[in-house]
Amino acid sequence: MNVAYLVRKLAQALVTIAAIVILLFVLFRAMPGSPDRVSKNPNMTPAMQAAERARWGLDKPLVPDQLVAFIGSTVTGDLGTSIKFRGQPVTEVVGAAVGPTILLVGLGEAIAIIVGLALGALSGWRRGGLVDRLGNGASLVFYSMPYFVIGMPLIMVFASGLGWFPTSGMTTPGASADPVGQVLDVAGHLVLPLTAVTLGLIGAYSILMRSAIIETRAEDYITTARAKGLTDARILRHHAFPNALLPMVTFIAINLGYVIAGAITLEVVFSWPGLGTLTVAALNARDYPLLQGIFLLVSVSVVMFNLLADFVYGALDPRVRS
Amino acid sequence: MSARARWRPGRVVAALAFAASALVMALPSAAAADPVVLRVGTTQDLDASNPFNTVLVSGFEAFQLTYSLLVEFDKDAHPAPGFADSWERAADRVTFHIRTGMQWSDGEPADSADACFSWGLALAAIEDASYVGVGYLDPNVKDAGVTRIECPDASTVVAYTTDQSDRILQVYVPILPEHIYGKDDYTAIAEEKFDAPLVGTGPYTLAEWKTGQYARFVRNPQYWGPQGYEDEIVLRFYSNPDAMVQALKSGEIDYARDVNADQFEQLRADPRFTGVVGKANGFTQLAFNTYGSGTGETIEGGGPSTLALLDPAFRDALGYAIDKKVLLYRVLGGYGDAGTTIVPPVLSDWHVEPTTPRTFDIALAGQKLDAAGYPLDGSGKRLDKQGKVISLRLVTTSTSADYAKAAAFVKSWYGQLGIGVSVAVMDSSALGTLLLPSAGAKYDLELWDWMGNPDPNSLLQVLRCDAIENTSDSQYCNDAYDSLYDLQLTQTGEERHDTLAQMQNLIYDEAPYDILYYDASLHAYRTNRFAGWQNMPASSTPLFSYGILQYTLLTNAADAPIPPVAPATDDATQPAVPDLPDAGGAVSGRPVALLAMVAAVVLGAGVLLARRPRPAGADDDG
Amino acid sequence: MTAAHAGRSAHRAPEPLRRAASLVGNLLSRGDGIVGLAILLVFGLLALFPDVFVGPLEDITTVTGMRLHAPGLGHLLGTDELGRDILNLTVHGARISMAIGLMATVITILLGAVIGVIAGFVGGTTDALLMRLCDFFLVLPTVVLALILAPVILDVVGADAELFGIRATLLVIVVVIGLTSWATTARVIRSQVLSVKERMFVDRARVIGAGPGWIMVRHILPNVVNLIVAQAVLTFAGAVFTETTLSFIGLGDSSAPSWGQVLSSAQEAGAAGLGASWYIIPPATCVVLVVLAFTLVGNALDDVLNPKSAGRR
């Protein structure tokens, strides 16, 4: 792989991140009354407000002083203080919500990738067969369903109806002291939301994989393999599947960037303590510093995984040139 | 790739089945020796464990469990011994006697130094014309007229006051451990994290807080009062009320705060639960922008769009166009009370009904408008005295869906009088800013609410002249009202009652506010694990009202002398149903049937879509 | 979508009428295309003439029904917690959801097509800059951006402003969907333009002295219009989907009940726990059906119009 290609992609990613930081700066300043609003309190005298503004550096000109200060603090990881969770740094509040989201959506992505690719491969290989009819149809339907539409019936049936699983949340407070019990407790809470995330994600993978397999199937080497008398299943596993997988790799890498963006509506219906629920809570409390932090985290994560996709693409495809 | 890619369906299914069974088995895991945990659900996330930084009821509940107030509340919300076990009132001071031998939960002695330190934070801020943290607690001290505090010895606290009111006994300032926070001044205390576990003198102290998930409180063995039955209290936070109600039904929680009317009726019909209608100490008001009344001032490019809003006769006439019964039923589902005066009925010591009440009568409202000099023009539009068509801008906030519902009715009713209303829903901080004259105060009507303290003062002061550019949302200024306000500050008992009655009638007649309704808070709890539930005070709810006494009064339901059954005392709190369609929804539900329907839709669509394979195309293998 | 479309033989732009006829013919020869078109036809009619089917939109002041009443004779799909008829809401929701979808699609396609065609045709530094801009917009998280932009837009236009009968609160959703989805379209169109540009007739046009604007409009655009149509249909599906999500988490306008807004009200009313499935199933089914239909038609169009391109998200 070409070093110049890597360097160029890396530079592009950095420029994008810089642009995001500047966009945040502009948006945050354009908000009605913000960030003055943060320090606005009816009990404050004008003199106190001036002091407060000076403390936050709001008395200085927007460009360059405030912009430089903003970029400086962002780079050093200081994203300000949450309004909703008073006195807590945004980085801490966001940090606490990242784990649950990665657990839920990351695991959902993993299962959806495995199941989706397998389903897509089988559907495409036996086009018009039973797997294709049911699998492809269901994939399309689930692909068209917002997460909460999948999640709500699951809660109604399996949690409040049959009582097999907890209705919401991630843990039972103080339920168990030993680690095994805690893991099982989380696992029990995880089943329903994970099912919903997985169902929602499978569609995209299986639909893409299906067309990739269909294209691969028409290639010459498959015909050759068949002529050599290899069994159908063997051709699928050893020739068609690995080849169809290549274009999927970039798609998967890009998609993983959105793991952190989470499944907002799903987290809300399950009260899952992740970034999605936090985003909505921040919205309801109009906690702009917090929203800003989430925005930054999500977009940087997407940029990074895009970069990864470029690298993977560069490594897999020798034709990549400048 | 070949070996690893080999899938053995049988093995996968077996593994999945094992995992699923392990999960299901893991769920019911309550050993006999487990602590007794009271699990309380709320949709209101805890915002801060630092008492000076919280603005939410859940935050007040959390700090009151951990920290005692100098004077607490009894079950009727009257003053009761707390950090101080007795007190005397003199003309210019109150002397508090601190409990002897009291200890913090870490075993350190708790004495007057802690009280002087905690109240001292508020007093220092007041002296600097500043505030502590978010500024929600120190106004209590200011409002009580406290000027100075002294601790002559370890068991005595003397607070000097400007007046003789008993508001000093309702001061929501938690007594913090001086041996931990004593180094902080009033700005430094706001920066403190108050990371769990906390050291307190309350019955249960905060032991663990997972943001957005739960806060766990453990028994404080050093608590000065009688110990409660439960060993732990867990406040669980839900991102939506439906999740909370489902958790209540499935037994994951014992108590649910703030459910909606339909959920409430369903829970109350179920013998496993008891529902409580808690009357809120507050109201939802339609405020008129009366900027300039009493002062004659105007705002360049802002203020009310018509001078009619400054005319009490105009506002009075509009009062006849609001059907409060319909609002109560359609917006609140019948739970609450129709609004009248500015002191809510729940403050029964002070509330009076208006002497000359208005009734709902659109025709009469029209006649009164005509008589007051606001005629209709040829096209049916109402004109003001300057001959301009009256078209009002109503602003409200999205924090509760109720506001937009009520606003829709106001728009409809005023529309029948020929007065156009445009509704703008915005977030609460944007609304708060918009209301300030310095920001233009460009609105005509505002629909929002106020919640009060045990003393009516805080609700009364929003209509004072000096509330303008501060908390005022009506820009109302009336010297007569202000002097009555100052007078009642110095009064007690019957005298104060009479003054407050005058003030309530004055505001009702002048109508800078049209009080739409007094909200209610609907709570529900399970009766199979805990007994001893009672509302505190009687018009309110067991939890999330004044004080935290209830947490220590619960008992084991298994030991209760009478088996818990559906209470027969609910009739008094049945919703008021006006002459309108059915109050209770005919709700029925079979989740499995729903799943079958959904599955049928999904499968049906899937089969339909996949029924026909695609025709041979360029990319088809034929 | 990365397929280069190279190697396709150059052909003259067919006359529009014949093209449209063969397009419909091709589409109708596919099962999924028929299903999709039929669904869209039904919802299109509902969206255009909701009053004909269910009368004017009910609001809290005009309701006659009981609260949360199960489906029955008076209210075929039951009522919501205010007593509004669910059928009435769902049919009017078609209009609101699809109006938002349409406006968002128009913004997306206009931006995407113009930028894609210019980037692909002009090339060089312009192309590089425009593609960086695409990269930037591709990474913006839709929902969070909507939350941050909402107050800014409301502040600029005023919370009670209206544009073409769409309230400002809904405009936020339109703008955000447009901003976050044009970049995909631009990229797809650019790659098509790149291949079209290489074809002979462009060189021929250049030889006879045509200006770049003329070439873009007369030669490039007709050759990418297929792709634009297919993209527009797929964008529409995405827009309805995103609108539902944004409304569900509270960015909608309760006085303009789109399907997402109805589902949001259902969630707030606790419909699931109350067993009021009639409150959830109709709007949810409509969202799924419409998104599905647009996806099917979009994929079918894509296949019919661009036989070599692989299925896309």
Structure confidence by residue, pLDDT tens digits, C93-107: 998 899 999 999 999
Tell whether B260 is within 8 A of chain C (Cβ).
yes
CA distance C310 to C230: 13
Q: Give the pLDDT band of residue B614 (cuts 50, 70, 90).
A: very low
> Do residues B238 and B244 touch, judged by C-beta distance below 8 A?
yes
Average pLDDT over residues A55-66: 66
Number of domains making up chain A:
1
Instruction: Please give the span between the terminal C-alpha atoms of chain C, in angstroms, as a whole number.
Output: 9
Q: Nearest-CA distance from B213 to chain A in Å?
A: 6
Inter-chain touch A168–B247, beta carbons under 8 Å: yes
Inter-chain touch A282–C249, beta carbons under 8 Å: no
Q: Is the pLDDT of residue A94 over 70?
A: yes
**Token pair of B33 as six digits:** 């020796």
Tell whether B142 is within 8 A of chain C (Cβ).
no
Average pLDDT over residues A131-158: 86
Query: What pLDDT, on a 0 to 100 scale, did the predictor assign at position C286?
Result: 94
CA distance B604 to B414: 50
The residue range of the domain holding A276 is: 93-285
B229-261 pLDDT per residue, tens: 999 999 999 888 888 998 898 888 999 999 999
> Do residues B397 and B428 touch, judged by C-beta distance below 8 A?
yes
Q: Nearest-CA distance from B586 to chain C in Å?
A: 5
Strand partners, B109: B103
- In a mutagenesis test of the C interface, which of B240, B242, B522 is the best target, namely the one with the most C β-carbons within 10 Å? B242
Inter-chain touch A269–B243, beta carbons under 8 Å: yes
Structural domains of chain B, ranges and CATH numbers in brackets: 68-189 (3.90.76.10), 282-519 (3.10.105.10)
List CB contacts of B529: < 8 A, sequence separation 6 or more. Answer: B254, B556, B557
Average pLDDT over residues B133-154: 88
Average pLDDT over residues A100-110: 92
The two beta strands, B282-288 and B513-518, are: antiparallel
CA distance B314 to B444: 13
Percent of chain C with pLDDT strictly greater than 70: 82
Residue A106 domain flag: yes
Phi, psi values for residue A53, rounded to 5°: -65, -40
Q: Which of B586, B209, C311 is nearest to A87 (CA)?
A: B209
Q: Nearest-CA distance from B166 to chain A in Å?
A: 24
Residue A281 domain flag: yes
- In a mutagenesis test of the B interface, which of C169, C274, C296 is the best target, namely the one with the most B β-carbons within 10 Å? C274
Inter-chain touch C263–A148, beta carbons under 8 Å: yes
Q: Give the pLDDT band of residue A175 (cuts 50, 70, 90).
A: low
Closest chain B residue by Cα to residue C281: B598
Higher pLDDT, A48 or C29: C29
Residue A291 domain flag: no
Query: What pLDDT, on a 0 to 100 scale, did the predictor assign at position A137?
Result: 84
Higher pLDDT, B150 or C162: B150
DSSP A114-141: HHHHHHHHHHHHTTTSHHIIIIIHHHHH
Residues 232-251, chain B, touching C (beta carbon < 8 A): 240-242, 245-246, 249
Tell whether B611 is within 8 A of chain C (Cβ).
yes
CA distance B43 to B39: 13
Query: What pLDDT, on a 0 to 100 scale, did the predictor assign at position C191?
Result: 84
Average pLDDT over residues C273-297: 89
Range from B329-338, B567-576, B582-591, C288-297 carrying the lowest mean pLDDT: B582-591
Higher pLDDT, A146 or C273: A146
Residue A42 domain flag: no
Can you list the pairs that C5-8 forms with residues at least 24 positions away whose Cβ atoms lie under 8 Å?
C5/C191, C5/C192, C5/C195, C5/C196, C5/C306, C5/C308, C5/C309, C6/C195, C6/C198, C8/C195, C8/C308
Q: Which of B28, B8, B16, B526 is nearest to B267 (CA)?
A: B526
Inter-chain touch A283–C249, beta carbons under 8 Å: yes
Angle at C240 between CA C239 and CA C246, to 5 degrees: 85
Nearest to C139 among A32, A141, A299 (CB): A299
Global pTM reads: 0.81
Average pLDDT over residues B29-42: 77
**Token pair of C23 as six digits:** 């397009």
Inter-chain touch B588–C275, beta carbons under 8 Å: yes
Phi, psi values for residue B115, rounded to 5°: -70, -45
**CATH code: domain of residue A176:** 1.10.3720.10
Chain B residues in contact with C68 (beta carbon < 8 A): 262, 585-587
Residue A229 domain flag: yes
Residue A53 domain flag: no
Query: What pLDDT, on a 0 to 100 scale, did the predictor assign at position B223?
Result: 96
Give me the helices (H) in B235-283, please.
241-250, 261-268
Percent of chain B with pLDDT strictly greater than 70: 84
> Do residues B515 and B283 touch, judged by C-beta distance below 8 A?
yes
Most confidently predicted of A256-260, B148-152, C2-6 = B148-152
Closest chain C residue by Cα to residue A209: C311
Closest chain A residue by Cα to residue B40: A173
- How many CB atoms sit inside 10 A of residue B348's CB? 12
Chain A residues in contact with C295 (beta carbon < 8 A): 140, 143-144
Inter-chain touch B585–C66, beta carbons under 8 Å: yes
Q: Give the pLDDT band of residue C164 (cuts 50, 70, 90).
A: low
- In a mutagenesis test of the B interface, which of A94, A156, A158 is the best target, namely the one with the most B β-carbons within 10 Å? A156
Residue A188 domain flag: yes
Chain A residues in contact with C147 (beta carbon < 8 A): 279, 282-283, 291
Instruction: Please give the span between the terminal C-alpha atoms of chain A, in angstroms, as a whole number.
Output: 11
Chain B residues in contact with A175 (beta carbon < 8 A): 29
Q: Which chains touch B (3 or more CB pairs under 8 A)?
A: A, C
Residue A2 domain flag: no
B504-548 pLDDT per residue, tens: 999 999 999 999 999 999 999 999 999 999 998 888 899 998 889
Q: Which chains touch A (3 or more CB pairs under 8 A)?
A: B, C
Average pLDDT over residues B163-173: 87
Q: Nearest-CA distance from A64 to chain C in Å?
A: 22
Inter-chain touch A298–C144, beta carbons under 8 Å: yes
Q: Is the pLDDT of residue B592 over 50?
A: no
CA distances from A250 to A174, A316, B400 (A): 42, 10, 44
Task: Classify residue B396 as left (phi > 0), alpha (psi -120 to 50) or beta.
Answer: beta
Half-sphere exposure (CA, 13 Å, Cβ side) for B425?
21
Query: What pLDDT, on a 0 to 100 scale, did the predictor assign at position B561?
Result: 62
Q: Give the pLDDT band of residue B13 (cuts 50, 70, 90).
A: very low
Angle at B288 between CA B284 and CA B294, to 5 degrees: 130
Half-sphere exposure (CA, 13 Å, Cβ side) for B168?
26
Higher pLDDT, A253 or B326: B326
List CB contacts of B376: < 8 A, sequence separation 6 or more. Answer: B366, B370, B382, B383, B418
Residues 253-312, chain A, touching C (beta carbon < 8 A): 257, 261, 264-265, 268-269, 279-280, 282-284, 286, 288, 291-292, 294-295, 298-299, 302-303, 306
Give me the helices (H) in C212-276, please.
212-215, 221-246, 259-269, 271-274
- In a mutagenesis test of the A interface, which of B54, B213, B601 is the best target, namely the one with the most A β-carbons within 10 Å? B213
CA distance B199 to C100: 54
Q: Give the pLDDT band of residue C11 (cuts 50, 70, 90).
A: very low
Chain A residues in contact with C154 (beta carbon < 8 A): 32
Tell whether B212 is within 8 A of chain A (Cβ).
yes
Tell whether B31 is within 8 A of chain A (Cβ).
no
Nearest to A141 among C237, C292, C310 (CB): C292
